[in-house]
Amino acid sequence: MITLSGLTKRYGDTVAVDDLNLEIAPGRVTGFLGPNGSGKSTTMRMILGLDSPSGGRALIDGKPYAALSHPLRRVGALLDAKSLHPGRRARSHLIAMARSNGIPLSRVDEVLEIVGLEKVARKRAGAFSLGMGQRLGIAGALLGDPDILILDEPVNGLDPDGVRWVRELVRELAGEGRTVFVSSHLMSEMQLTADHLVVIGKGKLIAEGPIESIIGNSSATAVRVRVPDPAHLDRLREQLLRHSFTVTAETADSVTVAGSAVAEIGDLAFQEGVRLHELRVVEASLEEAYMEITGASVEYGAPSRGAANTEAQV
């Protein structure tokens, strides 16, 4: 369990993390989302004792990270896959980590095999690709067989097979009852991986809950209604509007209605004698829900295409 109580970090007049209160529970993958500059990495660094909070606390099973006697056995972390000496061989790097925490050296070869680096174990880390570096970083996080894993952008640089491997790995670890806290900017991958989401913007918590709830609450979620007789569509649309439904789109034989009120729309069509060929919820994607939630929190957004073209002409 990771507990954040009023966690705050200031750099001069800038508030990077603003009074975060969270419990990151075991037995599930918790996705950590937010725009660039939202405070995600700073939050993770404070959990791991790499940055000191300006206020509040970050606790691992009730203790600060610095108070853990063998931290690698309790918490495995990957924050920056390239933060190791480039001249050190992969196996030597893991041996040094193992010795510092009393971890059997046999575990080094186990994790190298888990992450698929056993054939390049004696290669220097500086010669690794970004994807290989990520795998080595994950090996380091797994080294102590910890109950808690904190992974910052773990799929960066991985090919599709590697991305799927990370997804299956973190879900398996969560299924064993471990606490798994993962940040990513890949919304499609997070939608496949996470059970629970924490979304921050400008250092503040702006959404938290099961992924199904966050997606389901998006205004992009809608009901598609298709009829075999287009002549009935006008009558159905009129009744939908009369009953305060919002029609967001329509074609010659269908309408799309905001929300997810399938039963109510089906009852209304029945009452009007309108035969249906399709009545289904079109669920928003996590990307759509995320963009809606964080729209007011983006500090470094790209200019619109029109604005960019105008600037180019000046």
> Can you tell me the mean pLDDT for 232-239?
89
Residue 55 has pLDDT above 90, yes or no: yes
Q: CATH: 3.40.50.300, 3.40.50.1100, 3.40.50.720, 3.40.50.410. Which one for 2-210?
A: 3.40.50.300
Task: Give me the pLDDT at residue 6, please.
Answer: 96
CA 61, distance to chain mean position in Å, is 22
Do 196 and 29 touch, CB atoms closer than 8 A? yes
> Can you tell me the mean pLDDT for 27-53?
94
Task: Give me the pLDDT at residue 314, please.
Answer: 44
CA 153, distance to chain mean position in Å, is 9
Task: Give me the pLDDT at residue 86, please.
Answer: 84
**Is there a shared CATH topology between the 2-210 domain and the 222-282 domain?**
no
Task: Give me the pLDDT at residue 312, please.
Answer: 45
Do 135 and 112 touch, CB atoms closer than 8 A? no
- Please give the CATH number for the structural domain made up of 222-282: 3.30.70
Element at 43 (helix H, strand E): helix 40-47
Residue 308 has pLDDT above 60, yes or no: no
Nearest to 278 by CA among 222, 219, 202: 222
Task: Give me the pLDDT at residue 311, please.
Answer: 46
Distance CA(178)–CA(270), nearest Å, equals 49
CB-CB neighbours of 118 under 10 Å: 14
Do 41 and 48 touch, CB atoms closer than 8 A? no
Give the pLDDT confidence of 169-208 residue by residue, as tens digits: 999 999 999 999 999 989 999 999 999 999 999 999 999 9
Helix-helix angle 90-100:130-142, to 10 degrees: 20
Helix (H, G, I), strand (E, B) or coil at 302: coil
Residue 119 has pLDDT above 80, yes or no: yes
Least confident piece of the model among 112-116, 141-145, 154-158, 195-199: 154-158
Nearest to 32 by CA among 49, 44, 15, 17: 44
Q: Where are the domains of the chain?
A: 2-210, 222-282
**Confidence band of 301 (pLDDT split at 50, 70, 90):** low
Q: Record the tokens describing residue 36, joined without a space.
A: 């660039």
> Can you tell me the mean pLDDT for 45-61?
95
**Confidence band of 302 (pLDDT split at 50, 70, 90):** low
Task: Give me the pLDDT at residue 27, please.
Answer: 96
